[in-house]
Amino acid sequence: MHPFSRSMQVDLHASWWIGPIEIPTRLVLAPMAGVSVQAFRRQGRRYGAGLVCSEMVSCAGLQHRNERTLGYLRIASDERPLAVQLFGSEPEVMAEAAVMVERAGADIVDLNFGCPVKKVTKTGAGATLLEDPERACRIVEGIADAVSTPVTVKMRRGLEDGSRACLELGPRLVEAGATSLTLHPRSARQMYTGEADHSLTAELVRLVDVPVVASGDVTSRARATEIIERTGATAVMVGRAAQGNPWALQEILDGRAGEPSRDEVVAELIVFIRETAGELGEERGTGFLKKFYGWYLGRGRFPKAFKQELVQLATLAEVEARLLAAAPGAHEELARLEAELPDGDDVLLDLPISVYGGG
């Protein structure tokens, strides 16, 4: 049987639940350091993600209140349902952070037990917790006791290639209070190389009685439906495929293939620039946004030299003017997009967020 022949049985538009929180589609937008600012999350919701996730919030930063706060977490009603992701290694400090984000309006508290980056793992946080099950369970239990919002966990398979740590730890985390698990079945050592081994996802689904979200290599509708069919996962998480490319979410959800027009690309990028500048400020935003130019304008949409030209410009106003000169029809598309965007009703929360420290 062709692996995709039963794929139509998977309804990616069907809602599902994490505890009392209803998620309207089977598509989750991944939390990504240096990427998942509010503009990215809002865009993800517009293009069909049922659940969006914040940047990792560094719980360790909460212990140093005398230091300059690294950023603000913004939460707006049009992002919801929203998961705010915490990383850290101290159960008490993480529980305190969880209470803060719950008060700010987070619908779900997500815990990062999967980040492979050395500056996170060396502190005992991220993927290191896969090899420290006692501490991992204490963290989940402490947070589940401290908040009434659902607590979820994002994991990798383990630190080393071939590790099955996620299968030993997963059921224990559920017992400790986790209401959903996300598995990215690569090892921390692999980073983003090789293929995600979704046979592990299928094993985890059989071991636990909470929704499992499959993460890793979800790049198309065919791939998403195949992974759900093969593993029994409740939903899929999309990460890198959506960077500068919200149309990928639309294709996964509805099968709407085809490249966006240049006007659509430029209009979405300008909305993204304006919202990000509002969140980070002009100075921080200028540097932060540079990687997005390549993501939006690549894939054969614009010549490579055009991206290089934008990166050299000193202000975001110059970037915007150059984009509109390259795609004059984007004016109309931009007006339509901005008219549809809801008015801001942000809750601002003073928290250390990974992206502001460099991710």
Report the catalytic residues. Answer: 115
Residues 264-282, buried b or exposed e (16+ Cβ, 10 A)?
bbbbbbbbbbbbbbebbee
Residue in the block written with tokens 């009685």? 209
For residue 82, which of 23, 39, 14, 27 has the smallest C-alpha distance?
23
Closest CA to 51 of 209, 229, 211, 261: 211
> Which two structure tokens, joined as six digits, stand for 317?
């106003």
Torsion sign, CA atoms 233, 235, 241, 243: negative
Cα distances (angstroms) measured from residue 198 to each of 12, 93, 147, 314 = 18, 33, 32, 44
For residue 36, what is the DSSP state?
A: -
* DSSP one-letter code for 342: P
Sequence letter at residue 143: I
Tokens found for residue 262: 């240049």
Secondary structure E strands in 79-164:
82-87, 108-113, 151-158
Residue 325's closest CA among 352, 302, 300, 298?
302
